[in-house]
Structure 1
Amino acid sequence: MPITSKGFARYSLALIIVGLLALIGVVAATIWLVERTQVYFEEVVEAREGRQAAVELRNLLQDAQSSQRGFLLTLDDAYLEPYQNAIGRIQPAYDRLAAVLAAYPQADEPMAQMQIDINDKLAELSQTIDLAAAGQSDEALAIVTTDTGEQMMTRMRTLLDAVIAAADERTFNGIVDQRGAANALRIVALIAALVIIAVVGGAAWMVLRYTRELDYARSEVEALNHDLEARVAERTTDLRRANEEVQRFAYIVTHDLRAPLVNIMGFTSELESALSPINALVAKHPEDSTDPVIVEARQTALEDLPEAIGFIRSSTRKMDGLINAILKISREGGRALKAERVDLTDLAESTVGAVQHQISDSEGEASIDIATPPVFTDRLALEQVLGNLLDNAIKYRHPDRPIQIEIKGRQERDGRIFIDVSDNGRGIAPEDHDRVFELFRRSGNQNVPGEGIGLAHVRIMARNLGGDITLKSNPVHGTTFTVSIAPDLRAIARSRA
């Protein structure tokens, strides 16, 4: 049975709706699963911090006690070195553990008792060491043999072991939950991919069938009667219009799935504008009115609807940002690179100059030390790499110190060029060193705006330039990104060709 224009339009509209629903479903499910994964990850990080603090405190207490006993038995000052190294770190280690456990009220009493035991144990250690150093070893050993200090150590070890065990269990459960969320995300993506493939396949089949029918009709018209030029011209015009309709619907299927998002934004603005007369109507009634209808209307107009509109705006902005981020990554991957002679010192100076005002505003400074010959590479891509790294150094600066940025360049024996961009910012946790290069993944406190695409974009560009990017970082000294590039991009382009 041939497909009519109206039938084609209905089928195309149905496919668009199915594809739109699949897109909305996968975006909503992805956002929810990503947020759940972030929650699980934060739980794992918190558990690991608690475990590290408990292990550190336990080891320091054991080192201090072992050092004290070694000194009492030998009276050799060399045995006091572990004690002296540990004694000043015990209280900070306890404070770190207490900060992690502050969110758990059930830990308040045991932690308070541990503080008492730590103070008493440190007093005992200091007293016995002072007695032994003064030649009163018997009195010092008498204090040790009372087992009071050992009982305090036992209580503290028991509590710390319990904290470590609970942290291990929480870490295991968090990892299991993350894996579950990742598996669910894969399933959602697979289902959505199958639906979209089915939609695109159905649309392609329908377009091909409709096109074949149009071509057949055109051939039939041309073969009917060559003498009736007017009739042929009329049928040709009809066919041309039909072809334009096919192209229009094909464009809708392939490009206009984003239109509903724009509609949502527009209708949200209209809904927000519609609140003004409602608020004015509610304002005419006294705030202390006891009419339940007025009370409910006031709450709806002043609280519920603005909150719902805000959530819709936030969700649409986030979805739009994700789409733009993916488009940005895909465009960069497809951009043709242009190799040209680039002086790295000049390029670094111009890149730093673009952000110098921001560095100066923080009373900071930037230094450049590049000892490499000129390279043949894509200037725009390399400028974007350095620009992204400098923007990150400024964006994630440490709040307690001025910005210090160093750019160094070197050439290894194999000819590869390495550029180090170092800052004294807030650093990146060790467990995030790899994940910060993943798309939509960010590290640390999310107190600055961003979509999590900058470093992923940088890695793609660095690899396009025949190299890669790595990092070294800690919260004390900041972060150093090392970008490697090929000295001559033309050779790589020829080998790829």
Structure 2
Amino acid sequence: MPISTNVFVRSTTLLLAVAFLALATIVGTTIWLVENNNYWFNETTNARVARAVTVSVRNALQDAETGQRGYLLTQDERYLEPYDAALPELPGFLDRLEQVLAPYAEANGVADMVRTNTNNKLAELAETVELTRAGRFDEALAIVRGDSGKVDMDALRTMFTGIIDAADARTIEGLEYQRNGTVALRWVTIIGGVIIFAFVGAAAWTVVTYNGEIAAARAEVEAANAGLEERVRERTSDLGRANEEIQRFAYIVTHDLRAPLVNIMGFTSELETSVGELAGYMKDRPDDGNPNFADAKLAATEDLPEAITFIRAATRKMDSLINAILKISREGRRQLKPETLDLAEIANATVTTVQHQIVENGGTATVDVRLPRIVTDKLSLEQVLGNLLDNAIKYQQPGRPLEVTVRARPAQGNRIEIEVEDNGRGIAANDHERVFELFRRAGTQTQPGEGIGLAHVRTMVRSLGGDITLRSELGTGTTFIIILPRDLRSFIGSQSA
């Protein structure tokens, strides 16, 4: 019986939920066992440290006492070497002992008693040594026979023995707990692995069965749509031809518009000359009393020249717009020529052409290209970089030296990323997309232009199989990001397929 999507989803969800619950239980138990083992490991370590420090204190005291006795018997300073070596070590040992015993309530006060008895013993040792050095050996011997040092040493030995025994017992207990924890952890891992493998196996069986049914359904869909790719290629080809027709139409229209425009501009020039002569004549002619003379003079000297000026500006504007359309149309119809290029070389050459404009106001230009050679259309790439650098120079922030950086890095999918960054006046967020539209400009306009530069750049970049975007902050600067295929031939091949 085929597995429906609902059954598959419910059964898979149930299996995964139970498996997750089992996994959570296993993980929780494992974490608890690991934490428990870690606790007993720390306890065992602390017990061993306490034992080692206690032995160190005991050995140091024994060395000091041995040195004192040897000196009392021989009055030879060489026998005091163990005594002199033990004295500077004991304070550190006592501090460490107090530190390791602090966490244990049952050892409360033991470290203080050890310190007190040790200080008493050291005082007795120091006093007998000094008396012997002063030649008062009998007095030193009397102190030794007084047994005060022996009492302190016996008390210390009792405490040392108690600490060492307690540490050994704690170590044995900790090792036993760790061994039990390790055994339990092993069984939890084995049982958990069996449970998880069981649920994973059940889920895998469900998935494999369902995928088999999906594969069969996909085969039926592929058989039903065997001609779809061919139809898509046909439609793509039709769209390509339609685009070529549109570009050809735009070229023809703009080319045909130039003929009447040239006539208008020519006649406007002749009319401007005639109006100039007429204005000169009317300006010097005296008023003959004709009631229409004043209006005629005003029209000849002011109204007509102003109208000619407006006509001249409008024709120039129209001429630049037609040239822009022709430029974009020619670029769209131009046959691309893929060739192997050194992008760093092209970027440096393009920057060099505008270097004098950048440095004349104290600016700098940097090229940082970390790419091997690429295959693309050289002319289009030079025009793209040139347009972006011209924009950076044209819209630099007044009063701030221009800084321009051209960077290039590899990008995902066998593509490259080129960035042209400047510290100019920036572009407002709501204009980030609009600046790429034809005849659209953003922000306060202080430079002449028709709003075709970035539209032309986007057209060229897309013809190279890429795209261009920007990030910018008003008053800070702009970065244009160009993504291109590493090899233009692969893009052209995919377009013609």
- Give 1 or 2 for the bigger CA radius of gyration: 2
TM-score under structure 1 length normalisation:
0.47
TM-score under structure 2 length normalisation:
0.47
